[in-house]
Amino acid sequence: MMKSMILGRRGVLLGAVALMGIGFAPMTAAADELADIKERGVLRIAMSGQYPPFNFVNEQNEVVGFDPAIGTELASRMGLEVEIITTAWDGIIGGLLANKYDAVVGSMSITEERDKVIDFVGPYYNTKRAVFTKSGSDITSIAQLDDAKVGVTLGETHEEWARAQGYRINTYKGLPELLLELDSGRVDAIVNDSIPVMVAMKSGQYDLAMIDDPEAEQIGAGIAIREGNPELAAAMQEALDAMMDDGTYLEIAEEWVGGDIR
């Protein structure tokens, strides 16, 4: 059952739509839906609510996080109210195709498989491999890691990357250990997905600095809409670009994830 709250998470191969027993094929909208949405006055956005800090339910049973904040601001700039609908992630694309909501603003990765069935606005954020040091460290560039001790999580692609660079590495079970080892000085730097570490930095428990890695691959998250809606897509993109240009996006990102995630 869907309800007006929020929760989110990434995942789900688009091919799974056919395996979920949804019972209908990908469809193209008969006419652009922007006019109907404006007449209704409400933009209905969906997410799962299981992906903090991007979307989750707080102790007051409120849906909060980066995704709902972006979705609410997006709707406001389009002259609309917002309705947030929570639904199981494995059926979220099916719900979009069945017109149960107008868009998915739930940290959905943009993939070729999904793009065959739905359209994307954005991306509205990116995540990537990142290198972190303690604030004030002498290490300020990737080039200086050759002489450093680098911490990575055992079995992750970051470990493979660090070994390929020839770094001296220590391996750990996960991010909590990495952060503790960096904080204690037993490693000089750690390699991890950027956003979880930025969230840990935001908590105030760790005083870290992120080193820019221009060669790191980015994975974009987009706003999903039904195909055949160029006017809706353009209106959403215009609103998204405007909030990025005027600093509103950065304020939201800093509040929920601790920094710029474009």
Using one digit for the tens of pLDDT, what is the confidence trace for 17-27? 433 333 334 44
Q: Provide CB contacts within 8 A for 214, sequence distance 6+.
A: none
- Full pLDDT tens readout for the chain, 262 residues: 444 433 333 333 334 443 333 333 444 444 799 999 999 999 999 998 866 678 887 888 888 899 999 999 999 999 999 999 998 877 889 999 999 999 999 888 787 888 999 999 999 998 788 899 999 999 999 999 999 999 988 766 678 789 999 999 999 877 778 889 999 999 999 998 788 788 878 778 789 999 978 888 787 889 999 999 999 999 999 999 999 999 999 999 989 987 888 8
CATH topology of domain 16-118+226-257: D-Maltodextrin-Binding Protein; domain 2 (3.40.190)
What is the predicted pLDDT for the residue at 156?
63
Which of 35, 55, 36, 37 has its CA nearest to residue 47?
A: 55
For 138-159, b where at least 16 C-beta lie within 10 A, e where not — what string? ebeebebbeebebbbbeebebb
Taking alpha carbons only, the member of 222, 228, 239, 226 closest to residue 76 is 239
This prediction has a pTM of: 0.63
N-terminal to C-terminal alpha carbon distance within the chain: 33
Q: Write down how long the chain is.
A: 262
Integer CA distances (angstroms), 136 to 64, 133, 140, 147, 176, in order: 33, 8, 9, 17, 21
H or E, element range at 86: strand 81-86
Q: What is the pLDDT of residue 51?
A: 67
d(Cα 233, Cα 89) in Å, to the nearest integer? 22
Residue 100 amino acid letter: K
Q: Can you tell me the distance from the alpha carbon of 229 to that of 33, in angstroms, rounded to the nearest whole number?
A: 6
Condensed to tens digits (0 to 9), the pLDDT of residues 66-122 reads 999 999 999 999 999 999 999 887 788 999 999 999 999 988 878 788 899 999 999
Give the chain's radius of gyration (CA, Å).
20
The domain made up of 127-211 has a fold known as D-Maltodextrin-Binding Protein; domain 2 (3.40.190)
* Residue-level pLDDT at 44: 98
Q: What are the domain boundaries of the chain? A: 16-118+226-257, 127-211
How high is the pLDDT of residue 58?
83
Same fold, 16-118+226-257 and 127-211: yes
Choose among 73, 104, 83, 78: nearest CA to 249: 73
**What's the number of CA atoms in the CB half-sphere (13 Å) around residue 156?**
20
From residue 217, alpha-carbon distances to 126, 137, 196, 213, 228 in Å are 10, 25, 16, 9, 30
